[in-house]
């Protein structure tokens, strides 16, 4: 009997020692996150913060499909929060039990809206951001198939009342500068500068409103759920991360495609940085492109 007890004790000791030599690995899990907006569209560049029970934080950023992952997570409770410019923050509680968890955050847009008369609100673009644009450069170009040189116009604007505008190339350049209620204009690089003042000068320009009105409305049209525009990752355009919106239509025997590149992150999210229209009629293609760039960068417009 005593011998049997001794053998049991030895066996128990061997099991204890064996377990001490080879510990069972801690079980870990992961969280796969999807971030979208009120329309179910993915949001790129959302700052995601995952906080565990001890207060330790892990961060990630959503990709162009609104996705992000947190891996190697110990079992336990977590708090997930998502924040992005132009949206209200959103959070949710999660529990990890050694497997993969799916989590969806829906961020509500803080962009301005207006009533279209039907009793429902339509998104009009982030006017608060557009109105905070204090300066920018712009360029417009048109090219018709069969021609080698495009038609070009370009200019710049600085709040509150400084503008620059130029069309043409070579000796055929036309230039206008406005500072306050004074405009100087010439019709060639060798021409004399003509000066205009007062209300006459003020009415000669007015390009400054294009970005905050036309492009704000363009953003509304492409974002509308029933607009017909199809969205994809637009890559980097004019130095800004964008989403690309494309729509094709037939009008007046012309096949026309419209493409808008809308800034999708950062201070100027919701602003259109490029708008392109291509039209094919009678076998010939004509394209129009409008670029807006260098938002809030110093320009230093002065009268010549």
CA dist., res. 234 & res. 240, Å (int): 10
Read off the tokens for 101: 């968890």
**Do the beta carbons of residue 273 and residue 287 sit within 8 Å?**
no
What Cα–Cα distance (Å) separates residue 62 from each residue in 27, 36, 67, 137? Answer: 26, 10, 5, 30
Which pLDDT belongs to residue 38? 74
Domain 26-106 homologous superfamily, CATH: Immunoglobulins (2.60.40.10)
Neighbours of 178 (CB within 10 A): 25
Distance CA 232, CA 61 (A): 18
Q: What is the structure's pLDDT at 123?
A: 39
pLDDT of 182 reads 92
Question: What secondary structure does DSSP assign to 1-50, as a single string?
Answer: -HHHHHHHHHHHHHHHHHHHHSPPPPPEEEEEEEEE-TTS-B-TT-EEEE
Strand, helix or coil at 215?
helix
Q: In this structure, how many other beta carbons lie within 10 angstroms of the beta carbon of residue 292?
A: 25
The overall pTM is greater than 0.75: no
The reported pLDDT for the residue numbered 140 is: 87
For residue 121, the model assigns a pLDDT of 39
The DSSP symbol for 187 reads S
All structural domains of the chain with their residue ranges = 26-106, 128-293
Question: Per DSSP, which regions of the chain are E strands?
Answer: 28-36, 47-51, 57-61, 67-74, 76-83, 90-96, 100-106, 113-115, 121-123, 135-144, 151-158, 162-167, 174-179, 182-186, 194-197, 230-237, 240-251, 254-263, 272-281, 284-293
User: Which CATH code fits 128-293?
Assistant: 2.50.20
pLDDT number for residue 118: 41
pLDDT by 10s per residue, the chain, length 304: 333 323 332 333 333 334 444 444 456 889 999 998 877 788 888 889 999 888 888 888 898 888 999 988 988 888 999 988 778 888 899 888 878 888 999 988 765 444 444 443 333 344 445 667 888 998 988 888 777 777 888 989 898 888 998 888 777 788 999 898 899 999 887 788 999 998 777 667 665 555 555 555 455 556 666 667 888 899 999 999 998 988 888 877 778 888 989 888 887 887 888 989 999 888 888 888 989 899 999 899 999 9
Identify whether the C-beta of residue 82 lies closer than 8 Å to the C-beta of residue 92. Answer: no
């Amino acid at each position: 009997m005593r011998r049997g007890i001794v053998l049991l004790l030895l066996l128990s000791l061997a099991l204890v020692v064996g377990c001490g030599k080879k510990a069972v690995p801690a079980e870990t899990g992961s969280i796969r996150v999807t971030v979208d907006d009120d329309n179910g569209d993915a949001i790129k560049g959302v700052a995601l913060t995952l906080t565990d029970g001890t207060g330790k934080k892990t961060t990630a950023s959503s990709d162009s499909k609104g996705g992000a992952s947190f891996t190697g997570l110990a079992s336990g409770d977590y708090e997930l929060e998502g924040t992005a410019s132009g949206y209200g923050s959103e959070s949710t509680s999660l529990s990890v039990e050694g497997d993969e968890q799916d989590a969806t955050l829906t961020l509500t847009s803080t962009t301005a809206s207006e009533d279209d008369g039907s009793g429902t609100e339509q998104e009009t673009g982030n006017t608060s951001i557009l109105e905070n644009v204090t300066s920018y450069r712009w360029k417009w170009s048109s090219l018709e198939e069969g021609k080698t040189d495009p038609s070009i116009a370009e200019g710049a604007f600085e709040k509150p009342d400084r503008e620059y505008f130029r069309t043409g190339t070579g000796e055929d350049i036309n230039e206008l500068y406005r500072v306050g209620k004074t405009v100087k204009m010439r019709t060639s690089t060798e021409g004399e500068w003509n000066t205009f003042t007062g209300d006459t000068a003020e009415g000669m320009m007015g390009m400054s409103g294009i970005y905050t009105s036309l492009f704000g409305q363009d953003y509304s049209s492409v974002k509308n759920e029933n607009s017909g525009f199809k969205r994809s990752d637009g890559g980097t355009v004019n130095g800004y991360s964008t989403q690309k919106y494309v729509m094709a239509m037939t009008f007046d025997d012309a096949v026309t495609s419209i493409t808008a590149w809308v800034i999708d992150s950062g201070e100027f999210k919701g602003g259109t940085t490029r708008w392109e229209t291509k039209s094919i009629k009678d076998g010939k293609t004509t394209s129009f492109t409008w670029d807006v760039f260098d938002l809030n960068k110093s320009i230093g417009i002065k009268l010549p």
